[in-house]
Structure 1
């Protein structure tokens, strides 16, 4: 498989296709996947934060409601008239009827003050109050039911869930309290407050609920006593043993769990006053629904991207790689000595056309050389003469630039004349008659000429300041050291902020050396450029103008004068750069004494 891939990649056309797909389709797919993942994570986190905040507030409100309900039931229990009616059974049927009426009045008056569906009081000796029980529409057999017996035998309140005992055959949750006499601990009866779904739903009705989101109240056994989604799970066991185990360990939390094979974002919080847990379930598909449209759009763009990529590949193949393949076949025939091949004529003006025309020209020249082998020496001398005759004479170039400047000024274009004059001055100072050694003054003039050209090119002034001791301007100095560093500062440090950016050149004589500082207040030099500056292997790989100028100057200083004279760079991101050149003081005519052999020896050592 690896060999097949290598054979596939050996073709230029296939490499172009793979590279094109790699730089277009692959980043798009990776970005889409990354954006989808981060979007889902962000939505999950936002929903979890909102759910936890909402559950905490719901818990506070629900506990306040239940505490108030409990206090109201305690007030009913503490009613002296109620206690008196239940202390002694009625002596006659007439007394029983009168006691029943009084009981109903007490319960009715209290019910009007309570926020509950129904309020009931059950005497423990219910057989003594048949009229009262008929008014409640219950029978004496009620005391034999499990919930009644559990409440009567317990000193703590209990909650009883009737799945179909509420309005419209809905669930009914009853709060049952056993009460005793005010004077002793003799049980007197039960107080029951019935709560329907609507008594809980008001605490779990956010303004914006996601599709499929529901709120549950789970008791200590794991049974669901309230389900906000139409009591769908009310009375059932919570179908998540992991969540039940978690709520026993933590007071609150957020997890992503599967319930009935559907992934949900679950938030839960335990209540303080009751062994209940409030749970929020949000289906993951409801959370990710807002980005579904974005996914479809991304898929559409991906398909369009791939179609465009295929179209571009076909275009490149037909117009570029296929002609190159044909040219390669012709070259192989030429290698075999077949000069009878037919080279197709190309009218294209791009590089492919140049290649074909160049190849045809080469073939014709080779044929001519073979046919005129006896005149090879003469042809060689003619070619050498042509090469020599095409060499640019610097004086001719200077004179031509002066003529251009004169013509520009003669036509009133002084700006063009000044720019041409600066360019001629820059070329004259750069060539320096082929010598490597110049003076500090000529280097400064070269920098000024470069700055003048840059100002004309960008169309705005550059703040470049010069501070040099007068005595050092005539001192011997290696050429082309300052201009690359100033160019680097202008192009890569203060570029984009020419209004505030400035470059300062200052020179002085210090400890027998010439010391020149080039400072700017720009972006600073990237750390990777500084790390690779003194790395020989890294220098070969450094790319970009910001690295070339520094490397060139640094390497020339080290080669000519040794490692003690390499550049010293102080830089900080966003605060500018200071580059110090230390150059030995050379006697006049130092160019005769300073030779590359010295630098080469130092580089080897």
Structure 2
């Protein structure tokens, strides 16, 4: 992909898409804030509705407090016999007037302890003993005079079919003995909540009430009257409240808030998502227009300023591609714009200087590598030469002429390979070299160890870097000779595809963990344990490159040092 395509792709990726993303994010954030504000407004409205409901319910509670403690009701319920029927009728009329003094009273039922009832419009349509077994009646009875509210559609036994009324039930107690002397069920018109309805209308939302089972007992509006909303009822732990999205069966969505209210009921407010989106629509339009305007401005800027820069960068990129192909004769053309001309001249000067610097660096790197290799090569010769001459001197002092002759002969072979010739020799020559070294060491150490060579025939003519086996077997001898278990050095070599694998194994004490870590970190502070090994590893790295070198596997029962190098040629 050329630079121009990448430039336009970058324009899309770093300007166009982020701009659209930023616009979308701004819309989402502002929409979310607005939705949160709407949800909070609904919660605040719901709190106002709840407070209003509590106030209205409290007002009815106080009214029924007055009724059940009034002298008229108390005397009526405790009266066993009536001298005159007219007296009873007068008292019943007084009770009726008292109960209808509350403007939203629809009807009432007043029972004495024997189950006799007093009503105004319609008597109860079930016998008293059946009513007494109902859960709602048991709740009233168990509250010992405290109010208990029964919602519409849950009080059919008391008000009959076809009536949507709230019912408050109260046990009536004798103030002296606190015994139950009767029961009052006051049926209240739902119009008592008209003021609450106006609060909801101002917030453009609807509201409803769920009973303790999650059934709808009162609803303003009919958006969700056929829905199962039991998941929003007050739980057994008393925790309820929050806001959420609710989807109707036909797919229409609503923003819904809910909170607890009186009598273990739940107050739910709903607002259609369409009305919420209608308030968000101006934000959506503004964001869309803003993104379009910014895109237009970016396009004009690109046409005016970016095109020349793009052409210059395309030419510069082409010239730089040529320099990466080792064409250091490339030159940039002249430009009218001063900035482009300065950059062009700077590029041309840089290419000229780069050519000179590369030539200098290559020459210095070559000299440095040769110097490092020679230093490592010569580090070996004095080391084993000193040890050998020391052994020859000791044997000569003991008049062991034959062993002195053998050692001197082998030493001559060692020096012939070490001091002369190219860096590479055949593997067979390297093997003869290390064999000469082992023969010297066997004499020096009174034949305390032996050695064996197991070399594949197809390996012997391969050319390898010289003097890589001698430091390894020297390490085996120097650090194993003082241990009784050490008595064998084994050299094995085989070909593995395009690589040569050589294993030098001994049955000595092995490397310590500290020595292995020091070798791994390529440090010289190994207490003279493995210095020659590190030397060989660095020579192999310098000569064959990264990936070649030594791998050490060591334990208390012995050590295997593996040489892994590429095969270059055969002798």
Normalised by the size of structure 1, how large is the TM-score?
0.43
Q: Which has the larger radius of gyration?
A: 2
TM-score when normalising by structure 2? 0.45
